[in-house]
Structure 1
């Protein structure tokens, strides 16, 4: 937790910086964006190292039946991340697809991880994503001018298949097989 919590705080701060300090961010310009990008990268490294090093402190029991739901939610989460960067039909319908992807990702992980480090990490990301959406929505109405096509959705779906396979492979390599229920 010594690295996890500072990493999470840096992650949230770097992501909320634009919303909380818009004039300062504009003043800092491109060099400021580079620094924030490095802070975000460092925050992810700290969170991963902190999560991996954290002692397992059970908070709640998980239900093995939820492992399949977790995998389905992860596909949906990745799809929302993907369409956020494309000109898909869905991106013209849903506001904040990437943030909704983060919300679903966090909930999916909380469904199958009941230890303290997971609650801090995934719960923290969940709270950040919701707070980010609230701040964006308070800044003004949504004026989406993107007219997407089914081609964008199909590209996103193709990317999801590849990325899901890579993520599953990394999880298995780290010793967390997402396709096998915990004992």
Structure 2
């Protein structure tokens, strides 16, 4: 196993562990107080850095060849994903109707990336984060029933979210292009 894959797996372990700590050991997390938030944030950032470096440094091993035209589906799914990330913050029409919009956005993000990346590192990284989101939803759903929120902004929230989605999508596309992986030209290597 190359160093890049080791870093991806270590980053995923930190990501899963830091996120699930509160769900799996709520008493232990509560005893840490506000200082625990800083530790969790640090672990998440470390995990993110390890995953990014690992992904960039890993040996490219093809597992499958993405189907032609998947770049278009990826771009569309990414717009949906980014929009779902903003549902909780902008409190539009979906806010009281959908449980876990950010986690569903993560699952869609993961699937979108698996449609255009058929290499081993992508399967481990994007599949690992998508699986984390699904497991997290199951854990949350088993621990507490959902009471739909009632304080949404309606269409105004959706309009705010749409503007934010387009701006963030543009920034994400710019970073991908800067890194040499344009989401608008061809497919990823």
TM over 0.5: yes
Gaps spanning 5+ residues in structure 2: where? none
Task: Give the corresponding residue for 1:170.
Answer: 175
CA contact (8 A) 1:168 1:177 kept: yes
Q: Per-residue CA shift, 1:80-115, capped at 9, x if unaligned?
A: 001122221111100000000000000000000000
The corresponding residue for 1:159 is: 164
- Displaced runs of 4 or more, over 6 A: none
Question: Structure 2-normalised TM-score?
Answer: 0.94
> Aligned partners of 1:80 and 1:109: how far apart in 2?
16
Partner in structure 2 of residue 117 of structure 1 = 121
Superposition RMSD in Å: 1.0
By how many angstroms is 1:65 displaced? 1.0
TM-score for the superposition, normalised by structure 1: 0.97
Distance (Å, rounded) in 2 between the aligned partners of 1:70 and 1:17? 31
After superposition, where does 1:13-32 map in structure 2 within 5 Å? Answer: 13-32=17-36
Q: Can you list the C-alpha shifts for 1:95-147, whole angstroms capped at 9, x where unaligned? A: 00000000000000000000000000000011100000000000121012233
Q: Name the counterpart of 1:103.
A: 107
Task: Note if 1:53 corresponds to 2:57.
Answer: yes
Could you say what secondary structure the match of 1:3 adopts?
A: helix
The alignment status of 1:5 with 2:9, answered yes or no, reads: yes
Alpha-carbon separation, structure 2, partners of 1:36 and 1:146: 30
Matching residue within 128, 133, 143 for 1:129: 133
Number of residues of Structure 1 aligned to a counterpart in Structure 2:
183
Equivalent residue number for residue 89 of structure 1: 93
Q: Which runs of 5+ in 1 are unaligned?
A: none
Distance 1:171 1:2 in 2: 23
